[in-house]
Amino acid sequence: MSQTTVVCVSTPSFASLTTLRVGGAPSALYECASAASLAETVAKLDRDRVPLLVVGGGSNLLVADGELDLAAVLVRNEGISLDDDLRLRAQAGTEWDAVVAYAVEHGLGGIEALSGIPGSAGATPVQNVGAYGAEIADVLTRVRLYNRETGADEWVDASSLDLAYRYSNLKFTSRAVVLEIELQLAETDLSIPLRHLGGECVPLAEARESVLATRRAKGMVLDAADHDTWSAGSFFTNPVVPSALADAIEAQVGEEHMPRFPAGDGQEKLSAAWLIERAGCPRGFPGEGAPARLSTKHTLALTNRGSATAADIAALARRVQDQVRDAFGVELHPEPVWVGL
């Protein structure tokens, strides 16, 4: 397979490949430095009926402990290009924040609110990443996919991905592998309206720094020395519930200004972090000594305090889900993909 190598590292485990820093050892490790080698590697493993997991930045994975009958295919094709129509293309293995930095440096707006989100460019359409009033669906035009069902290497329109809140029809399936993405950006001096600044538009570089500062304060920018960042970012999506249930929860809690946002068709989006805290799970829950805890900076992040296993993270997630369900009748859904748990 051209430009494809099997990488042997001192500790070949998913703990070394994911931002939660948990997970067992894959059966083999393939590093793919080009889109062609990524497609070829997946095709060969599929022909040989070898179970595989495609790993980009590893920021959206919770992988089981122990020896795993699963090959890890590492997405390491990198590169950014820009055409005359301000369409930006990023190879799937490019660090996402490097894509945002490139856009801001070139005076291109549309993704500055997505600064600091960990992971690779190829993961952004899979879960339709978003933050502070923006999401990748706002600017995504096409995605280059390796179709595992047909063997085709093809560009598909973003409209075919059923993009919705933290969802695409690529998520939780293995039908295709993202090789490259294409974004339509705009030449501008000012950012999009930023939710964390009350809808204000500010210069692009200022917007990026503001978003990064806000994320750092919540432990949402990776830092090896800070266990609050040993996480998968926001672990649960914000639930969408009937307005009547939102009314009942607000009355039950008895607080003014519960975070609630219209979601159409008599539905409202609630803040998962707000619900978690009021269900009895504050920052740092369940307390000192626990190997897996909620971040001390942001309730929505489940963190590895240095010695947690995947089972510890999963147990904490289920405990939080149970408490929110028991308190409010709301089911929280994890954002990360769970593998083998």
Q: How far is CA 31 from CA 8, 55, 173, 204, 337, in A?
A: 10, 10, 21, 35, 21
pLDDT at 1 over 90: no
Q: How far is CA 236 from CA 134, 229, 258, 272, in A?
A: 18, 16, 18, 7
Of 45, 42, 39, 32, whose CA–CA distance to 6 is shortest? 32
What are 156-171's pLDDT values in tens digits? 999 999 999 889 999 8
Residue that the structure tokens 């598909």 belong to: 156
Mean pLDDT, the chain, whole residue set? 93
Fold assignment, 227-339: 3.90.78
Q: Which residues contact 11 (CB under 8 A, 6 or more apart)?
A: none
The pair phi, psi for residue 73, each rounded to 5°, is -105, 110
Looking at residue 2, its pLDDT comes to 42
11-16 mean pLDDT: 83
Q: Which residues contact 222 (CB under 8 A, 6 or more apart)?
A: 19, 118, 229
Looking at residue 223, its pLDDT comes to 85
83-102 mean pLDDT: 96
pLDDT at 107 over 90: yes
Looking at residue 5, its pLDDT comes to 46
Residue 57 per-residue DSSP state: S
pLDDT at 137 over 70: yes
Q: At what angle do helices 243-253 and 310-328 cross, to 10 degrees?
A: 90
Looking at residue 305, its pLDDT comes to 96
pLDDT at 338 over 80: yes
Contact 226, 219 (CB under 8 A): yes
| % of the chain with per-residue pLDDT over 90 | 87
26-32 mean pLDDT: 95
Q: How far is CA 280 from CA 236, 254, 275, 303, in A?
A: 16, 15, 9, 17
State the amino acid at position 143 in one-letter form: V
70-97 mean pLDDT: 96
Q: Which residues contact 323 (CB under 8 A, 6 or more apart)?
A: 276, 279, 280, 281
What are 272-289's pLDDT values in tens digits? 999 999 999 999 999 999
Higher pLDDT, 223 or 108: 108
283-301 mean pLDDT: 95
227-339: same fold as 4-75? no
Of 43, 38, 6, 12, whose CA–CA distance to 26 is shortest? 12
What are 237-255's pLDDT values in tens digits? 999 999 999 999 999 999 9
Q: Which residues contact 238 (CB under 8 A, 6 or more apart)?
A: 165, 269, 270, 271, 272
pTM for this prediction: 0.89
**Active centre residues (catalytic):** 166, 234, 335
The DSSP H or E segment spanning 238 is none
Point out the least confidently predicted range of 105-114, 214-223, 303-312.
Answer: 214-223
Looking at residue 3, its pLDDT comes to 46
Point out the least confidently predicted range of 11-15, 128-132, 265-269.
Answer: 11-15
The pair phi, psi for residue 295, each rounded to 5°, is -55, 150
Burial class (CB in 10 A: 0-12, 13-18, 19+), 249: buried
Per the structure block, which two tokens stand in for 129? 């990443």
CATH classification of 4-75, choosing from 1.10.260.40, 3.30.565.10, 3.40.50.2300, 3.30.43.10?
Answer: 3.30.43.10
pLDDT at 6 over 70: no
CATH classification of 80-217, choosing from 3.20.20.100, 3.30.465.10, 3.40.710.10, 3.40.50.9100?
Answer: 3.30.465.10
What are 146-202's pLDDT values in tens digits? 999 999 999 999 999 999 988 999 988 889 999 999 999 999 999 999 988 889 999
The pair phi, psi for residue 225, each rounded to 5°, is -85, -5
Residue 120 per-residue DSSP state: B
Looking at residue 8, its pLDDT comes to 41
pLDDT at 70 over 90: yes
Looking at residue 12, its pLDDT comes to 76
CA contacts within 13 A on the Cβ side of 176: 24
CB atoms within 10 A of CB 187: 9
Residue 319 per-residue DSSP state: H
pLDDT at 7 over 50: no
Parallel, antiparallel or unpaired: strands 267-270 and 240-242? antiparallel
In the chain, what are the domain boundaries? Answer: 4-75, 80-217, 227-339
